[in-house]
Amino acid sequence: MGKANRESETGALDLERELTAGNGDDQSSAAKGADASAAAENALETELQKVKAERDSLLDRLARAQAEFENARRRAIKEHQEFRDYAMLDAIKSLLPVIDSFERALLAKSDAGDFRGGIELIYKQLQDALAKLGVRPVPAVGEPFDPHYHEAIEMVETAEAADHEVLEELQRGYKFKDRLLRPAMVKVAKNPGK
């Protein structure tokens, strides 16, 4: 029994050592787990700070881009308005000599024939100024009626002209380059025989 008693005492000691050693491992692994958890939490916090900084940077860049776009839009509107104003300036400059000629004609003391000749010269000068700006008269008399360029005021029955031919121009029409400014008001032939 003495031997059995010693073995049981030794077994109890071994068991205590094993339990104590096992408990120590649990505490160190728990400490390691806590350290790992804290490290993971720190890594996540660092990553979160990076993402927040990147977000703030992107929001700042977006705000700057929007401000630059708005400034560019305002600048373009201003430049467009200035361009329109100065385009009108060229048109007005080309008409000033015509006004000068009218003033000279009105101040001149002359007979009716000279006055008419002066008015005709002014009319030609005005037509030339408009032509330089790209304004052209719409051809009418003798042309076939075109509803895109002519406005029929009256239909005249006649056998002397082709059907739907423009007989008379009551008011001249004008085009600016390829765009119609105003249609010509015309009388149109109605020829039942043709």
Q: What is the DSSP letter of 177?
A: T
Closest by alpha carbon to 138, among 170, 91, 162, 90?
170
Residue 50 falls inside a structural domain: no
pLDDT at 26: 55
Residue 100 falls inside a structural domain: no
pLDDT at 3: 55
For 6, 63, 82, the CA distances from 74, given in Å and listed in that order, are: 100, 17, 12
Domain count, the chain: 1
Please write the tens of the pLDDT for every residue from 18-65: 544 445 455 566 666 677 788 888 888 999 999 999 999 999 999 999
pLDDT at 21: 47
Residue 63 falls inside a structural domain: no
Residue 125 falls inside a structural domain: no
Residue 149 falls inside a structural domain: yes
Please write the tens of the pLDDT for every residue from 153-183: 888 888 787 888 888 888 888 888 888 888 8
Between 29 and 135, where is the model more confident? 135
Please write the tens of the pLDDT for every residue from 57-108: 999 999 999 999 999 999 999 999 888 877 777 777 777 778 877 777 777 7
Least confident piece of the model among 10-19, 33-42, 114-123: 10-19
124 alpha-carbon distance from chain centroid: 41
Residue 187 falls inside a structural domain: yes
Residue 180 falls inside a structural domain: yes
pTM of the shown model: 0.50
Containing structural domain, residue 194: 136-194
162 alpha-carbon distance from chain centroid: 49
Ranges 13-17, 56-60, 188-192, most confident: 56-60
pLDDT at 96: 77
Residue 94 falls inside a structural domain: no
One-letter amino acid for residue 106 of the chain: L
Q: Which residues lie below 8 Å from residue 187, measured CB to CB, with a gap of 6+?
A: 152, 153, 154, 155, 156, 166, 167, 168, 170
Q: What is the DSSP string of 89-147?
A: HHHHHHHHHHHHHHHHHHH----HHHHHHHHHHHHHHHHHHHHHHTEEEPP-TTSBP-T
